[in-house]
Amino acid sequence: MIECNLNIVGPWWMDWFHGGLNFHHEHHCFPRLPRNRLREASKLIQEICARHNVHYDQCGFFTALGRTLRNLYLVRNRFLDFKRKNRNFL
């Protein structure tokens, strides 16, 4: 699960605006953990990932936004290619 998610890095005061969803890894590992403790849990999960050689992906907000939009564009293109080849599909 850790390798399929992305955390958004930012200052502590932005945690409130993100509603804790900037700590996506921690939210899924500990869904009942209060959001004011997610930053603390993040350090622990990063240590565990480093110990087990698991990639812990994190980046800034605008980088994450760019990556998301690029991925949506690529998925759209794959769908359009599929639709062209299979005209009776939809």
Sign of CA dihedral 68, 13, 47, 28: negative
Per-residue pLDDT at 22: 94
Per-residue pLDDT at 1: 77
Per-residue pLDDT at 61: 94
How many domains would you assign to the chain?
A: 1
Burial class (CB in 10 A: 0-12, 13-18, 19+), 26: buried
Per-residue pLDDT at 79: 93
Considering the domain boundaries, does residue 8 fall inside one? yes
| Domain containing residue 31 | 2-85
Per-residue pLDDT at 90: 63
Burial class (CB in 10 A: 0-12, 13-18, 19+), 25: buried
Considering the domain boundaries, does residue 90 fall inside one? no
Whole-structure pTM value: 0.76
Considering the domain boundaries, does residue 26 fall inside one? yes
Count of all residues that appear for the chain in the document: 90
